[in-house]
Amino acid sequence: MTSDKYLPLVSVVIVTRNRRVDVLECIGSLIASKTSYSNIEITLVDNGSNDGTIEAVSRKFSDVKTIYSKVNLGLTGGRNLGQKAAKGKYILFIDSDTAIDRNMIMELVKVIENDEKIGLVAPKIYSYLEPKIIWYAGATFNLITSQAHNVGAWTVDEGQYNKIIEVSHAPTAFLVRKTAADELGGHDDVFVMSYGDADFGIRLRKKGYRVLYVPKAEMYHKMNLKKNVKSLRSLGFNTSLRPYYFARNKVIFMHRHAVNFPLFMLAFYPLFTLYYSIRIIQYHGCFEYLRPHFAGSLEGLLYFIRTLTNPRSSSSNSRFRQGE
């Protein structure tokens, strides 16, 4: 890494919607980390919150730049707004329901500064409520079946994941070289939420950049093992919008990156559609998730049919788009 006398500017971008308490804690942890890494700027992109998030942040953290969007642009659109405002050599994209270790940014920068071919570095992520339980220690993505896997998920940290490794992508938080992010054109807005992180990481790799997991960099995500396993949160469904985007975006993502897209659609997509339908029905009170799940599955199927006649076809906007 460069001399301690010069720390490259890190632009932190947080995207949020109606998470005032979480955002304040997240920013507080970032401010505390300045004792380890002082050269950061923080931008909060608010996707139309109505819980007083912007006002609360402005009162408590006057140095934080806030961008308010009346329209909910989703995670990808919000991150792109933040990227345009970023002035740093690096951008730290981080979800609002997190808190970081004071040394996290320093550890990430140490690694990425060593090699210009490193485009993205990701921290070890623990469960916020069970701080010895790992949620992320790297990730793999099966481009035949579409299954993503967080390495070490829901295991006790005993030092077994303490090596820097190549990964497919990084969810929740990652530090990226700004020139690399600009080269990609940011996150693809077609995803809105689900699969945006995976698409970003894999596109970086296709550009020749390395994507690494850095175990000495640590943070905490507000995920709970017991609650996660016994609810639809284990599927990533914490709002009724997510089943739609999850089903639809799976097809868009695999059309872009799959080893054999027709095989995926014919052999695996029907099985996943059935599996997630059964999982949704299993949970009492979650039937409202079925409609968007079926709508997203149908949109994915129609997308596939369009690609058969027009390989350049892309997904159309949907009336289920977030915020409508």
pLDDT tens sequence across 27-65: 999 999 999 999 999 999 999 999 999 999 999 999 999
Closest CA to 141 of 254, 304, 262, 275: 254
Predicted model pTM: 0.91
Instruction: Please list, in sequence order, all residues whose beta carbon lies within 8 angstroms of the beta carbon of residue 141, skipping any fewer than 6 positions away.
Output: 147, 148, 149, 168, 169, 198, 202
- The predicted structure's pLDDT at residue 137: 98
Give CA–CA dist 112/222, Å, rounded: 26
Element (H, E) at 111: helix 104-112
Q: Mean pLDDT, the chain, as a whole number?
A: 90
In which band, very low, low, confident or very high, does the pLDDT at 274 lie, cut at 50, 70 and 90?
very high
Give CA–CA dist 88/9, Å, rounded: 5
Reply yes or no on whether the pLDDT at 72 is more than 60. Answer: yes
- The predicted structure's pLDDT at residue 322: 37
Range scoring the smallest mean pLDDT among 212-216, 235-239, 301-305: 235-239
Domains of the chain, first to last: 10-115+165-211 (3.90.550.10), 231-309 (no CATH)
Average pLDDT over residues 272-296: 83
User: Each residue of 292-311: pLDDT tens digit?
Assistant: 999 999 999 999 998 888 76
Closest CA to 250 of 236, 232, 231, 238: 236
Average pLDDT over residues 71-84: 96
- The predicted structure's pLDDT at residue 2: 46
Q: Which two tokens stand for residue 144?
A: 């035949």
In which band, very low, low, confident or very high, does the pLDDT at 224 lie, cut at 50, 70 and 90?
low
